[in-house]
């Protein structure tokens, strides 16, 4: 029972789902519906998402997990000879076991700043590619992938996003936004990018469920559905089609009832601020001031075992010979008491 | 509310999950566990499966859906230049939107008899391949895929299975069994192949959850784990890794508690017999006498609209110019009353 | 020196190239030209091909071999979720070691008649696909592949070709013609399909060099170049781009100088007729009456060793328990004397 | 005829082949041999290569071009979930249009120094990977790719190569060496790595023909043939099998007769030294002192047009806002007179 006694702040997918989801799953359990998302609950969920994004014509498809969604969408957007531009820290570049390359596509990694790409950097890359006399021998950049919030929990401002979107327009390639933790962006006081903005400033984005209150599920939004013909078949081909599609419908129907999705990340973000405050007070150096639910701090290697005896956290990377970057993660399910205990442990040191 | 008024016999994935699964999901909902199947519930589920299969050293991995499982396992078993032998009606050959080819592998389709391959037919194919002077220019058969029960609901006997397994041994290629509806095989009075037999007579098989009482989930059993090194990474690469892996653990832990999985298909098989009886009585021709939960019968095209106004069933294929093969499917969730109403409707005609 | 003493009729790629090609290779050997086909000789060859096909705007690309060309063109024409319709005997289905599947595409094999598909059969397949309620779970047919002459040496008439082309137009999918042995079709008295016809009745076709007088090389003709954007990059990605592209230019510039390509197959076709005559006279059963340079006949197994002691021929397949189908192949390089000796051997039996 | 008037130093694949190859092609032209490399000339060529490398049991396969060879070998060596470590400037990472990713594999690019990786850098990468708790979610490094000489013309010393090989042994992954320009390494006074060394210090390497005296062709050497079962089929699947395989046999049989391959790069390397001397004299800055046949120098942008009016050279990359790195390339076919004229042009400035 060691797991129970330790504080669990290693990730934001440690618990089940928002209680309303569990209730609805239970209530609808023996209802018979047609499969593969062709049921009424899915229709309702998709309609709620369209409304929340203010794009009434959008195609919305509900997939199961993040890696699967990225691989499927990217494969749908690219021609076989094209690659996807990503920050070097992008989930598609590092932590998807080569799912993008499995689909035949190169990830064209550019150096990110705490997970973020900048518009001029992308423009420069595209311009250099176009000017390179050998570019017919190279992988053609066919789209841009960014994440909001990024893998570091940082945020693109609306202005930054608009600038990246403008570069994509200029070079006629789609912009795709990975919103695995989107609820924590939407809940951040520092955020000025709404769901409606995403629908205008990107070509495809997904609204993360797995880390944001669902058992699993990611809702892909394609504001202009003509962009991806036969998306259903592509999803099936990628093994990403859930037979009992209504399970996804139920979850997103609940998450988008009464704006739950807009609220669900709020405590997590506040708790992350509390944790950052405690870390600062305790003299830890933060990697940067995080606006969302992930906190990165630098710790001397010698102090890690003691901390880890009480708290599950994530190893990020070596900072230098003697120090390490650790990550603490809150979620919609984090309890105030656990956060207070964590802060106590941190400041006690 | 048309859906409610109609009898739903189109498939065996129309309802949610066995109530014990829903209860356990609810009970464990706010428990925090590590992700990706590394939790204690998954460990318990896997151990139960190992025991039920009497293969204590087996690697058990829990995936989400059937197409995904097939694509992942087949890609794991084959070298890049190899193909998979399958019946022409095999799910991998027809209804997976090319997921196997997406992984680079040809499906080597042999004509099946109501979904079944025969050992001599496989041996002949392998022998012909070995004897073909041009075989270095051809796709090398690298494994055999069969399903138990088949896509038609038919069953391999233990003797038939042993014969196929012996051919695979002779030619040193693995045998993989798709058990999407395995509970309905295990529940059939005609069946003589146990879980323990599968573990001895195949190299990899999967125990279907989605159609057999779970919300979703397929348990891949690899009796000798050395057969697939780095399977976890392969699963991840295929987008088949569930972040909250315990959801799969919970479902299989319940399905394999107190032999639930061995019982869960029994009423469905009995009801299918009742439906076949009613069809015969009503003068319909059965495509064959089904031993499991899928019933195939031949109907004049002119009679279809009336039937479909009351019953959801599945179109299988044209039988001839004027007749069609339809499928009726029962499941663990079918109610006796619905079956009685269905039989009434059928015999009334 | 056993090779020399035996008559070599096993294939049509046993010799080098037409002497004018060897001469030109020699004459231009130390000339320095830019690489990858951007030289003046390639430009000339392409222009000659465009003229011969009467399609002045065509994109012409010169690749190296047949399997490579098929894999590259098919991958260029299909979206990732589409498959290619082919006769079951099609080279892409049988003898390319899975090169099409390596690119992620399923070969949708239909039963051929001595290598040929018929328009109604293709229409039926497409119609059935469109009518299948489950087709979103299936591989979408995205193009049709045929060969002229076929792998059996049979020919499509202009009428047959027009009918297939019309079906493709109706279903809005491209028609691609593999012309690996096209010179032998063009040289056949039975043929009524010209290069100009191919340019009108297909969307892409290739003019085979390897088997028709070149050392190697296949010229892909795309009458409407907008059909395949970035074809150069696709060729490179497939490893099909020759650094010293002019070697291909030289060969096709010679083959299309003074209509050489239209004549080069003539003796081969005449010799094949002679061989068929001799076979008939000797009492052999022909598989069918071949109009081009490949002759298929049925021989009792007991007589094969004696024949093979004097003549290299190809095993095609078993005909029945006691008989085999063998193939004899002539080429542009076959000598009259060798053919006479062969006929002598055959009729002596 | 502009091409003729300009000096051509843009690449080392501008001319045809060594005259002895052209002569042999011509002499053997009408000889009939079986296809796909199963002829006596290929056997002879392979035997000569085995002798030159002192590895009598090696499997030698003759492919057509570099990108094709890299894609085929890398795909043969890796399991589907593995990637290949390469310098960021590696041909496989930059100039193969994604051929490696097309086969499903990620290129794991490490920063190179003028094209070279260092053993400690590779070890660090592998060690970090092994220590990363998340590595099951990442692309497993499955082999190391280097080139000798590198894309910059730099050389690995025997000591450096042995160190890299030792790291690969330690981590049980194969080392593959791209020898597209190997003749220029072997001809360099600075080189201490022989063919025999390559056979001992790598697991697979290829001996480049295209840039080293052949019309086309790369000879893959696998000292221990058990490393790649069914290599022939893999070559076919990649569209890399030449029907008239003897054309490759002829070229390598000539290149390895009387040690021609060891000598053929010598004048090119000497001429490159002359050109470097001229550049220095003229006050140009060399990017580095090149030991082989490629010379990189820095030039003010304003001076490029004048130079390019007389000399074809290659754009490498921008050096800074006002300066560019250009490449001049000699080859086995470069003439002393052209080099003298080039040096005159350079020093005149």
pLDDT band at A3 (very low <50, low <70, confident <90, very high): very low
Identify whether residues C255 and C339 lie together within a single domain.
no
Whether residue D134 and residue A105 make contact (CB cut-off 8 A), yes or no, is no
> In B, which residues are within 8 Å of C133 by CB distance?
315
Over the stretch A6-65, which tens digit does the pLDDT of each residue have? Answer: 999 999 999 999 999 999 999 999 999 999 999 999 999 999 999 999 999 999 999 999
- Report the pLDDT value the prediction gives residue C319, as an integer from 0 to 100: 93
Contact C216, C210 (CB under 8 A): yes
Q: Which of C83, C94, C104 sits opposite B104 (nearest CB)?
A: C104
Contact B181, B211 (CB under 8 A): yes
State which residue of chain A sits closest to D134, comparing Cα positions.
A95
Whether residue A140 and residue C234 make contact (CB cut-off 8 A), yes or no, is no
Coil, strand or helix at A258? helix
Identify whether residues C117 and C201 lie together within a single domain.
yes
> In C, which residues are within 8 Å of D103 by CB distance?
102
Identify whether residues C63 and C142 lie together within a single domain.
yes
* Residue C195 covered by a domain: yes
Identify whether residues D305 and D198 lie together within a single domain.
no
> In B, which residues are within 8 Å of A333 by CB distance?
30, 32
- Alpha carbons B50 and B48: distance in angstroms, whole number: 5
Whether residue B95 and residue C133 make contact (CB cut-off 8 A), yes or no, is no
Render A230-243 in DSSP notation, one character per residue. THHHHHHHTT---T
Q: Residue A156 corresponds to which tokens in the numbers above?
A: 């693109």
Q: Residue A226 corresponds to which tokens in the numbers above?
A: 């003509």
Mutate to test the interface with B, among D80, D101, D236, D242 (most CBs of B within 10 A): D80
Identify whether residues C237 and C280 lie together within a single domain.
no
Q: Domain boundary residue among B195, B229, B262?
A: B262
- Report the pLDDT value the prediction gives residue B317, as an integer from 0 to 100: 86
According to DSSP, the residues that pair with D311 across neighbouring strands are D7
The CATH number assigned to the domain holding A125 equals: 3.40.640.10
Q: Domain boundary residue among C262, C280, C300?
A: C262
* Residue D3 covered by a domain: no
Over the stretch D262-274, which tens digit does the pLDDT of each residue have? Answer: 999 999 999 999 9
Asked whether the predicted pLDDT for residue D1 surpasses 70, the reply is: no
Identify whether residues A99 and A161 lie together within a single domain.
yes
Whether residue D13 and residue C244 make contact (CB cut-off 8 A), yes or no, is yes
Contact C255, C213 (CB under 8 A): yes
- C83: distance to nearest CA of chain A, Å? 12
Contact D234, D89 (CB under 8 A): no
* Residue D53 covered by a domain: yes
* Residue C275 covered by a domain: yes
Helices A158-171 & A119-131 angle (0-180, nearest 10) = 10
A97 near D CB under 8 A: yes
Closest Cα partner for D299 from D289, D310, D308? D308
Q: Give the pLDDT mean for A216-234.
A: 98
State which residue of chain C sits closest to A136, comparing Cα positions.
C233
- Report the pLDDT value the prediction gives residue D234, as an integer from 0 to 100: 98
- Report the pLDDT value the prediction gives residue C5, as an integer from 0 to 100: 75
Whether residue C31 and residue D40 make contact (CB cut-off 8 A), yes or no, is no
Identify whether residues D234 and D326 lie together within a single domain.
no
Over the stretch B248-266, which tens digit does the pLDDT of each residue have? Answer: 999 999 999 999 999 999 9
Q: Please count the residues of chain C.
A: 349
Over the stretch A157-199, which tens digit does the pLDDT of each residue have? Answer: 999 999 999 999 999 999 999 999 999 999 999 999 999 999 9
Q: Give the pLDDT mean for A317-344.
A: 96
- Alpha carbons A29 and D297: distance in angstroms, whole number: 72
- Alpha carbons C261 and D86: distance in angstroms, whole number: 45
* Residue D335 covered by a domain: yes
The CATH number assigned to the domain holding A335 equals: 3.90.1150.10
Q: Residue C296 corresponds to which tokens in the numbers above?
A: 């298929």
Render B127-177 in DSSP notation, one character per residue. HHHHH-TTGGGSPEEEEEEEESS-TTS----HHHHHHHHHHHHHTT--EEE
- Alpha carbons A30 and A34: distance in angstroms, whole number: 13
Asked whether the predicted pLDDT for residue D131 surpasses 80, the reply is: yes
Identify whether residues C285 and C207 lie together within a single domain.
no
Q: Give the pLDDT mean for A225-251.
A: 98
- Alpha carbons A282 and A302: distance in angstroms, whole number: 16
pLDDT band at D66 (very low <50, low <70, confident <90, very high): very high
* Residue C305 covered by a domain: yes
Q: Give the pLDDT mean for D189-208.
A: 98
* Residue D12 covered by a domain: no
Sheet order of strands, C107-110 included: C59-63, C218-222, C204-208, C175-179, C140-147, C82-87, C107-110
Look at chain A and report how many structural domains it folds into.
Answer: 2
pLDDT band at B349 (very low <50, low <70, confident <90, very high): low
Q: Give the pLDDT mean for B314-329.
A: 93
A54, with CB counted inside 10 A (0-12, 13-18, 19+), is middle
Q: Which domain holds residue D270?
A: 265-347
> In D, which residues are within 8 Å of C25 by CB distance?
16, 22, 25, 215
Identify whether residues C233 and C283 lie together within a single domain.
no
DSSP 8-state class, residue C302: G
Asked whether the predicted pLDDT for residue A1 surpasses 50, the reply is: no
Asked whether the predicted pLDDT for residue C349 surpasses 60, the reply is: no
Over the stretch D10-46, which tens digit does the pLDDT of each residue have? Answer: 999 999 999 999 999 999 999 999 999 999 999 999 9
Whether residue D32 and residue C242 make contact (CB cut-off 8 A), yes or no, is no
Strand duo D7-8 + D311-312: pairing: parallel
- Report the pLDDT value the prediction gives residue D349, as an integer from 0 to 100: 56
Identify whether residues C183 and C308 lie together within a single domain.
no
Identify whether residues A93 and A51 lie together within a single domain.
yes
Q: Give the pLDDT mean for D80-99.
A: 97
Identify whether residues C155 and C70 lie together within a single domain.
yes
Q: Give the pLDDT mean for B152-164.
A: 98
C161 near D CB under 8 A: no
pLDDT, mean over chain D: 96
* Residue D214 covered by a domain: yes
Q: Strand ranges (DSSP E) for chain A?
A: 7-8, 59-63, 82-87, 107-110, 140-147, 175-179, 204-208, 218-222, 285-286, 294-300, 311-312, 314-318, 323-329
D230 near B CB under 8 A: yes
Q: Domain boundary residue among D207, D240, D262?
A: D262
Q: Residue C74 corresponds to which tokens in the numbers above?
A: 């098919």
C6 near B CB under 8 A: no
- Alpha carbons C2 and B328: distance in angstroms, whole number: 66
Over the stretch B75-110, which tens digit does the pLDDT of each residue have? Answer: 999 999 999 999 999 999 999 999 999 999 999 999
Whether residue B105 and residue C95 make contact (CB cut-off 8 A), yes or no, is no
B317 or D232, higher pLDDT: D232
This model of the complex carries an ipTM of 0.96
- Report the pLDDT value the prediction gives residue A349, as an integer from 0 to 100: 56
- Report the pLDDT value the prediction gives residue A116, as an integer from 0 to 100: 98
Q: Strand ranges (DSSP E) for C67-202?
A: 82-87, 107-110, 140-147, 175-179
According to DSSP, the residues that pair with C298 across neighbouring strands are C285, C325
State which residue of chain A sits closest to B21, comparing Cα positions.
A26
Question: What part of C 66-85 touches B (C-beta under 8 Å)?
Answer: 80-81, 83
C317 or D211, higher pLDDT: D211
Whether residue D81 and residue A97 make contact (CB cut-off 8 A), yes or no, is yes
């Amino acid at each position: 029972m060691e797991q129970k006694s330790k504080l669990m702040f290693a990730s934001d997918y440690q618990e089940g789902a928002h209680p309303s989801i569990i209730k609805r799953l239970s209530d609808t359990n023996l209802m018979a519906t047609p499969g593969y998302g062709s049921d009424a609950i899915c229709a309702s969920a998709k309609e709620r998402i369209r409304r929340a994004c203010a794009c009434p014509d959008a195609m919305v498809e509900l997939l199961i997990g993040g890696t699967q969604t990225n691989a499927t969408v990217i494969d749908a957007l690219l021609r076989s000879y094209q690659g996807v531009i990503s920050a070097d820290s992008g989930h598609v570049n590092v932590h998807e076991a080569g799912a993008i390359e499995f689909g035949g596509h190169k990830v064209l990694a550019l150096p990110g700043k705490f997970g973020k790409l900048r518009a001029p950097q992308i423009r420069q890359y595209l311009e250099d590619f176009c000017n390179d006399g050998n570019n017919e021998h190279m992988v053609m950049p066919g789209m841009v992938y960014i994440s909001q919030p990024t893998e570091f929990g940082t945020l693109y401002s609306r202005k930054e996003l608009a600038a990246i979107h403008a570069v994509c327009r200029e070079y006629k390639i789609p912009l795709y936004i990975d919103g695995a933790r989107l609820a924590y962006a939407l809940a951040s006081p520092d955020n000025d990018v709404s769901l409606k903005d995403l629908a205008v400033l990107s070509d495809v984005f997904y609204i993360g469920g797995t880390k944001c209150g669902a058992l699993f599920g990611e809702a892909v939004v394609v504001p202009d559905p003509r962009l991806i013909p036969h998306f259903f078949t592509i999803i099936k081909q990628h093994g990403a089609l859930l037979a009992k599609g209504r399970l996804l419908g139920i979850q997103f129907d609940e998450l988008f009832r009464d704006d739950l999705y807009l609220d669900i990340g709020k405590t997590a973000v506040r708790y992350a601020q509390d944790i950052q405050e405690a870390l600062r007070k305790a003299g830890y150096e933060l990697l940067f001031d995080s606006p969302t639910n992930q906190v990165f701090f630098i710790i001397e290697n010698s102090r890690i075992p003691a901390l880890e005896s009480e708290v599950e956290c994530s190893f990020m990377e070596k900072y230098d010979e003697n120090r390490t970057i650790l990550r603490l993660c809150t979620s919609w399910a984090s309890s105030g008491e656990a956060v207070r205990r964590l802060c106590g442990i941190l400041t006690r040191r």
